[in-house]
Structure 1
């Protein structure tokens, strides 16, 4: 396998530098390229297109966003037999989103070739739509390996006359467990086909695959001067693990964003974090490999349409996701390799737009931050945790915005008459009525409570037994829940004010339909318990009592739903952490108890 290196992302030197005119492309393809605004080939395009036009097999190594799709789509369309009814080209992609993205790109580059049909086939879509397209005939098939295998097994896809095969994001296909499917498809294709393999990395499995199925392939490597796009603002926040949720919540409240992807490492973490964010009032949904394809499709459409603002995702689940609305990427869990970081933040700042990336880093993860900065060839900007004043300023501003919006409502006249009648009959000032109505909808926990003084927090830590979370916690049950429109802030505000507690005295809060579970210090005195039992949130008494629903083991630890003995849950680590004088808000539990 011969090699070709291009060391940066600047326009290529040599004969290709003048643009696409010297590459021998079909004039109709060249016209379509002009239509979409391409003037000069990117390095991967300048290096790859001549090879593919000459009939060579190619291995292209380049990161996301370097123009790989055009690098193989343009030469394939220029050499395609438009009169053929059987597929001439097959592109394999690891995810539905990438398959659709590639299919749309082929459609754009063939816009002046009306006889060319491009058909995406992927899992989760109705077979009927795909079967109809295959019966009508399509020269280009773009599919995921599993669904392509299904059609081959059913005899509905005939690749006996295939001329071109592309493996896009080959490393991801192997990582996702498609190695056997890919080899099966390769084995079923004609010997004479031309193969192009594109990958961000070159692990041994990819090299073995290329050696077995590609003929005298040219290896093209494009190394970017900067691994990540210049139009993405990259920041990081030092935060201990147990304070991540509070940090994310504050960031979401003060940062202006359109849509966001929050990356975590595991499937279970996507569900847990999404539930906690929803409990705090954010429109968040989890997306991971266990999600059914139809549900995944609905979720992404909801994100595109603005019905969802936050996706909590794993690396694999977000692969190929291209949504214009994504203005921010948050690395809630820091990736263990720099390539994953590049792929993650590449979900924002697409098509020349500006983007924002935030990375959470704990003290033990500083070495991973340094690796990312070395790959970036520039440092990330450190930011501080938004303060309580920052959050409250935003809450007040959003409250004012909601008033302005409602002033334009068609129902305003009806409510104005009701309020005026109430004011006259009860001799109450209009401002007081407005405040009372706001209290009904916003509750008493509207503003974030001040962080406790450092001295108080330090004393609490010193009183705690060694190795504890800053005090032993017990679970208490209160008689308000979702149907009472209660929020975590309202719970904290009411209990802290009446019980003389600080924010550091709260552990997890789990809001259920008609009640909530709150973790508070185990040693609340009888006087405090009595006061809290009669505390109200809005018009509803909370009736705080010990929760007796979760059985304990002989060792005292509650059993989890799986029967395992569990120690302190997330949020019960050493308090104080990285933020010095800054405190935190309660953690909203995402799991059911016993």
Structure 2
């Protein structure tokens, strides 16, 4: 069949069941994406599959449609299991599957993830769902307690598999896959193929079809990338200036820590912007409400961390602003992927400190695009922008019939005070602009460099010398153990906690990182130094941990043993080997 014939046939060429085809038509899908076109036939035949494609290419439909086609609605047991790295992605996948299966009468879908009370999840499981979308940690807990059985399981899908492994879930994933029936169809989807993916593929997938969507086959997202080098003014002032002058529909601002999301959102709100925070300290109901407010236009700026924003797909997001840069290019790709999806255009803006310039080279290689150097609007340009907005607001009121009493009152005031109407109008304008001056003060002197892009091979990227290769978050990691700053970031106040598991229990650093990230949604960038001892371990976490987060960690398990987190009261015995960092 020629490519023209395939495209003209749309989804009909895939021979999906009538109820699924009708749902696709209802959703307005007309043509399958390359990953869907190549994957669905193999999965419909029952073959295992390894799918390699970037985020935003339609992977959910690629595995969801054929898996739903295999569902027997008369059986009230799990027949499709989807593993996702984060609760946000799990919810998004579940919502997509619900939309695909809306004409499948009797279809029940349950979502299972950490950070939510067990009550609602138990209620969903008791209803006998045929589909479960889950994160690894909470799923393992339900399996151990006998609440989820795989007797009728037909298909197991690993979505965003590389991200799952990056978060330390390799052993959890292997444990789960080892508990499913041997005849279960396996599908693994990933943006990249690191060695750990190959290990899982070789062990669990049987003669899988390998579908790889090459870059030239993907529709490149139309995302403009621009970077401002931090100098002259601070990042908060720069953010406020851009939020005021850039034409955007909705914007996500990415920061490192949960506290940053709250502080930044509150600051923006105090300046009159419709902003809100999204972080792991919020319960799921609050997070869902915040996302809905973004979708409905009740808020225009969302300040978020990487983990909670992963998988977020809101059509009106036109801009992504990297207030703090991520340490790895994959996180950057996921961040800017929140805009420019499904053929839409978007813009990514980066705030880059001089010591972070080397990261830009990695970002450009990962995205295949250039990052332009940009300058902020000058105070004069900001003032001109405000004056135009002010004039537009005031001229809209001129024809208001309710202004006539105001005119009379103004004339009386002028006569009684022996002041001209013009002077009174100027005084009102002065009062109007006190919070946002129409003539802002000049910035500190700094050179302006226009019209330049950051070169992928810019020598400035290597200004840090050999040590720059080991820099994370602006600090040099302690790779030789025990000396220097121990790889700690200087923008976080750390508190050390003691864990009741250590080397004698077979625990490794990645196990601790995975348990903390899964149970408390703390990304690895916010996990400090981890030290392993014979009978216990210590870990540094940001100070001021909310009680709810601590309680979640108190219930966490590492290698099937209670984590047993408590405040570290030191001193400690000497570690057997060198200190490990969570992001090493």
Instruction: Please state whether the residue corresponding to 2:321 is helix, strand or coil.
Output: strand
Instruction: Please state whether the residue corresponding to 1:350 is helix, strand or coil.
Output: coil
Matched, 1:75 2:66: yes
Give the CA deviation at 1:291: 4.1
Counterpart residue number, 2:457: none
Q: In the TM superposition, what are the counterparts of 1:76-91 in structure 2 within 5 Å? A: 76-91=67-82
Q: In the TM superposition, what are the counterparts of 1:479-490 in structure 2 within 5 Å? A: none
Matched, 1:403 2:394: yes
Give the CA deviation at 1:108: 2.5
1:225 is aligned, of 211, 216, 220, to 216
Give the CA deviation at 1:219: 2.6
Matched, 1:172 2:163: yes
State the Cα deviation string for residues 123-157 of structure 1 (Å, max 9, x = none): 45565544443333322222333443444455444
Note closer, same or farther for the CA distance 1:561–1:234 as it changes in structure 2 (3 Å cut): closer
Instruction: Please state whether the residue corresponding to 2:216 is helix, strand or coil.
Output: coil
**1:241 and 1:181 mapped to 2: Cα distance?**
47
**Alignment check: 8 A CA contact 1:260 1:309 kept:** yes
**Alignment check: 8 A CA contact 1:261 1:330 kept:** yes
**Alignment check: 8 A CA contact 1:176 1:316 kept:** no
1:348 is aligned, of 325, 334, 339, to 339
Is there any run of 5+ residues in structure 2 with no aligned partner, and where? 448-490, 496-542, 545-584
TM-score with structure 1 setting the length: 0.66
Instruction: Please state whether the residue corresponding to 1:225 is helix, strand or coil.
Output: helix
**1:373 and 1:424 mapped to 2: Cα distance?**
65
**1:253 and 1:330 mapped to 2: Cα distance?**
13
1:249 is aligned, of 228, 232, 240, to 240
1:193 is aligned, of 184, 191, 194, to 184
Give the CA deviation at 1:346: 1.0
Is there any run of 5+ residues in structure 1 with no aligned partner, and where? 1-10, 456-559, 565-590
Q: In the TM superposition, what are the counterparts of 1:442-457 in structure 2 within 5 Å? A: 442-443=433-434, 446=437, 447-451=439-443
State the Cα deviation string for residues 395-443 of structure 1 (Å, max 9, x = none): 1123234435667989868867765664554344444444434434432
Counterpart residue number, 1:322: 313
Q: Which of structures 1 and 2 has the bigger CA Rg?
A: 1
Q: In the TM superposition, what are the counterparts of 1:38-437 in structure 2 within 5 Å? A: 38-125=29-116, 127-225=118-216, 229-240=220-231, 243-267=234-258, 269-271=260-262, 273-274=264-265, 276-278=267-269, 280-403=271-394, 422-423=413-414, 425-437=416-428
Instruction: Please state whether the residue corresponding to 2:21 is helix, strand or coil.
Output: helix
**1:452 and 1:190 mapped to 2: Cα distance?**
67
**2:492 and 2:175 mapped to 1: Cα distance?**
41
**Alignment check: 8 A CA contact 1:227 1:376 kept:** no
Give the CA deviation at 1:298: 3.5
Give the CA deviation at 1:72: 0.4
State the Cα deviation string for residues 235-261 of structure 1 (Å, max 9, x = none): 333444964334333222221112211
State the Cα deviation string for residues 289-346 of structure 1 (Å, max 9, x = none): 4444344333323333334322233322210111222110112334444333321111
Q: Which moved more, 1:140-149 or 1:318-327?
A: 140-149
**2:126 and 2:435 mapped to 1: Cα distance?**
63
Q: Which moved more, 1:50-59 or 1:363-372?
A: 363-372
**2:401 and 2:164 mapped to 1: Cα distance?**
53
Q: Between Structure 1 and Structure 2, how many residues are aligned?
A: 452
Q: Which moved more, 1:65-74 or 1:286-295?
A: 286-295
Instruction: Please state whether the residue corresponding to 1:20 is helix, strand or coil.
Output: helix
TM-score with structure 2 setting the length: 0.67
**1:228 and 1:100 mapped to 2: Cα distance?**
25
Give the CA deviation at 1:231: 2.6
Instruction: Please state whether the residue corresponding to 1:317 is helix, strand or coil.
Output: helix
**Alignment check: 8 A CA contact 1:270 1:287 kept:** yes
**Alignment check: 8 A CA contact 2:232 2:445 kept:** no
Give the CA deviation at 1:197: 1.3
**2:79 and 2:241 mapped to 1: Cα distance?**
53
**2:243 and 2:223 mapped to 1: Cα distance?**
18
**2:492 and 2:335 mapped to 1: Cα distance?**
33
CA RMSD of aligned residues (A): 3.7
**Alignment check: 8 A CA contact 1:237 1:383 kept:** yes
